[in-house]
Amino acid sequence: MQPNNRADVVTIGESMVLFQPMGDKGIKYEPLFTKSLAGAESNVAIGLTRLGKKVRWISKLGKDSFGDFILSTLAGEGVDVSNAIRDERFPTAVYFKETKSFGDPDVYYYRKNSAASHMEPSDVCMEWMEGARHLHVTGITPALSENAAAMIRKTMELAKDMGLTVSFDPNLRRKLWSEEEARRVLLSLIPLCDVFLPGVEEAQFLLGHQSIEDYGKRFLEMGPKIVALKLGEEGSIGFIEGNTVKAAPHVVKNVIDTVGAGDAFAAGFLSVFLDEPADMTSSSLNKALNRANIFGALATQFRGDWEGIPTLDELNALVLGKAEVKR
């Protein structure tokens, strides 16, 4: 890696090829499907890149056309993919998403024995973190396999040793592992992060039924300096030592697809955190939460996982209420 290859953020995790029915007949009857990219960490990478941050994405992909598609899509969005590993022994994962007229979409994963599930602690190297300021990980990759979980832990520990700040979104995926293992592993990773980004349902899963304020207090006691708790339609609430900040939701008329909203929230929050990570005040926490709420809400307006994330110019125009001249 070149010495001047700077990165604001490094993120690591599995990305998959996403197929969705083109019409409204559902997977069973629809003959035509659209193809896109999906993955929590790559969603965050694209979101941060659109906000002007330099992002390095790391994963393990099969040496197949699906892997080629993922790399070309991310590179086309400006994400650095030079550290991605290709493994001809295992395939790139795919999944299908079926949007319904009510509730969250149904998703069907085909990722067992995927290349990313074979990421190992031995894959981790200092080169991943060189020139970087921050590491972002989620709880999805540890759910893929024991070796992937050990790799994420080692990566977080290395980042801390090298002076990077670390954010962690539990991003609970119940289909991938048992509740007991998920709770144990996710709780064990919280002390390794500076910024913890759970949803209220994930907080309940990890700690049981408690008040919102107690969730913030308990998570801060585990080690993070900042906790940003997503409250869904009620917005979000942030906790730092001695202060609690509530941010109102960004209201949208119709929710089309909720998948990817949490990743957009993380990108919006981290884009502010990265500008002042050492001394986030109540004012900057409020700004981060409000931007995160806007990003999370806008992500629900598109069927794709990341396509609706705005650029910095589009965000500023939205905040200022200025419409772009179209013709």
List pLDDT tens digits, range 173-205: 998 899 999 999 999 999 999 999 999 999 999
Q: Using pLDDT thresholds of 50, 70 and 90, give the confidence band for residue 326.
A: very low
With respect to residue 326, please indicate whether it lies within any of the assigned structural domains.
no
Q: Is residue 275 part of a domain?
A: yes
In this structure, are residues 56 and 318 in contact, taking their beta carbons and an 8 Å threshold?
Answer: no
Contact 92, 119 (CB under 8 A): no
- Cα–Cα distance between 234 and 203 in angstroms, integer? 15
Q: C-alpha angle 108/80/15, rounded to 5°?
A: 5
pLDDT band at 297 (very low <50, low <70, confident <90, very high): confident
Binned at pLDDT 50, 70 and 90, residue 304 comes out as low
Percent of the chain with pLDDT over 90: 68
Res 300: pLDDT: 63
**Averaged pLDDT for residues 252-264:** 67
Report if residue 116 sits inside a domain.
yes
pLDDT in tens, 74-86: 999 999 999 999 9
**Predicted model pTM:** 0.90
Q: Which residue range is the domain that position 215 belongs to?
A: 12-319
Range of 102-111, 123-132, 270-279 with top mean pLDDT: 123-132
Least confidently predicted of 158-172, 217-231, 264-278? 264-278
What pLDDT does residue 129 have?
A: 96
Report yes or no: 171 and 140 within 8 Å, Cβ to Cβ.
yes
pLDDT above 70 covers what percent of the chain?
A: 87
pLDDT computed for residue 249 by the predictor: 80
* 108-133 confidence digits (pLDDT tens): 889 999 999 999 999 999 999 999 99
In degrees and rounded to multiples of 5, residue 322 shows phi and psi of: -100, 125
182 occurs within a structural domain:
yes
- The answer, yes or no, to whether residue 222 has pLDDT greater than 60, is yes
Domain count of the chain? 1
Question: Higher-confidence residue: 308 or 116?
Answer: 116
pLDDT value for 285: 94
Measured at the CA of 179, the angle between CA 265 and CA 28, to 5 degrees, comes to 70
Task: Kindly state whether residue 52 falls inside one of the protein's structural domains.
Answer: yes
Residues carrying an active site annotation: 263
Closest C-alpha among 221, 219, 40 to residue 229: 219
Residue 281: per-residue pLDDT: 86
Confidence of residue 97 (pLDDT cuts 50, 70, 90): confident
Average per-residue pLDDT for the chain? 89
Which pLDDT band, with edges at 50, 70 and 90, does 259 fall under?
low
For residue 327, is it within any domain? no
More confident site: 274 or 280: 274
pLDDT at 3: 45
Record the tokens describing residue 206, joined without a space: 């990890």
Residues 21 and 12: beta-carbon distance below 8 Å: no
Res. 9 pLDDT band, cuts 50 70 90:
very high
Contacts of 311 (CB under 8 A, 6+ apart): 50, 51
Residue 6 lies in a domain: no
Name the pLDDT band for 24 (thresholds 50, 70, 90).
confident
Give a yes or no: residue 260 inside a domain.
yes
Q: Rg of the Cα trace of the chain?
A: 19
Contacts for 145 with CB less than 8 Å, ≥ 6 apart: 117, 118
pLDDT at res. 61: 98
Using CA of residue 39, residue 40, residue 46, residue 47, what is the dihedral sign? positive
User: Looking at residue 325, what is its pLDDT?
Assistant: 44
Q: What is the pLDDT of residue 301?
A: 57
Q: What CATH number does the domain containing 133 carry?
A: 3.40.1190.20
